[in-house]
């Protein structure tokens, strides 16, 4: 993918994507390759462990936090970490102990974010706020992940055509 520095549109640079309607895809053994949410959360927590040691005090913000399960996983391994979640629905995040916000601007106004994580959610949002906040208030560390499109090519089709179509 390439990102335009002017408008932040995303352009795909490859031409060798699997056909999302191929018979091979529908017969693909997803159970062997699927990264379930708990596995993804565990892997992301391991990445956090490469940045911080278990006794570190830092503020982690999950952009697209959903129910806060990733934040809870991180909190289990890093008990001194403060949890901040950004999502449309805040009630579960709050019940799980996170300071919850609807926008990045609100979260960054209230907290000094050390680590920003966006796991499989950046592709569903408008990039302008995201990029603008990161340019103004640079967190020490950023972890961005997305779906594995070699395993789920229909997701790539959906992302390009429905959610964030490029001109």
Residue in this structure with the two tokens 């209230």, named with its chain if needed: 110
CA-closest candidate to residue 106, choices 137, 66, 80, 143: 137
- Tell me the C-alpha distance between 4 and 57, whole Å: 36
The DSSP output letter for 123 is G
In the chain, which stretches have pLDDT less than 50? 20, 25-35, 154, 157-167
pLDDT value for 29: 46
Confidence at residue 54, expressed as pLDDT on a 0 to 100 scale: 96
pLDDT of residue 22: 53
d(C-alpha 102, C-alpha 89), whole Å: 8
Instruction: Check residue 137 and give its pLDDT.
Output: 87
Condensed to tens digits (0 to 9), the pLDDT of residues 71-105 reads 999 999 999 999 999 998 898 888 888 999 998 89
Residue 108 is predicted with a pLDDT of: 94
Q: Where are the beta strands (DSSP E) in the chain?
A: 2-3, 10-11, 59-63, 82-86, 99-101, 115-119, 141-145
């Amino acid at each position: 993918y390439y990102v335009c520095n002017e408008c932040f549109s995303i352009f795909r640079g490859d031409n060798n994507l699997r056909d999302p309607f191929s018979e091979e895809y529908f017969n693909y053994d997803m159970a062997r390759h699927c990264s379930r949410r708990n596995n993804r959360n565990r892997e992301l927590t391991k990445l956090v462990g490469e940045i911080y040691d278990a006794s570190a005090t830092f503020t982690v913000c999950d952009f697209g936090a959903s129910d806060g399960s990733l934040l809870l996983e991180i909190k289990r391994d890093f008990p001194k970490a403060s949890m901040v979640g950004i999502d449309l629905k805040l009630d579960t995040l709050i019940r799980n102990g996170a300071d919850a916000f609807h926008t990045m601007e609100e979260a960054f106004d209230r907290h000094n974010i050390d680590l920003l994580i966006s796991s499989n959610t950046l592709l569903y949002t408008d990039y302008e706020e995201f990029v603008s906040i990161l340019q103004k208030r640079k967190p020490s560390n950023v972890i961005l992940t997305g779906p594995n499109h070699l395993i789920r090519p229909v997701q790539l089709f959906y992302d390009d055509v429905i959610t964030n179509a490029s001109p």
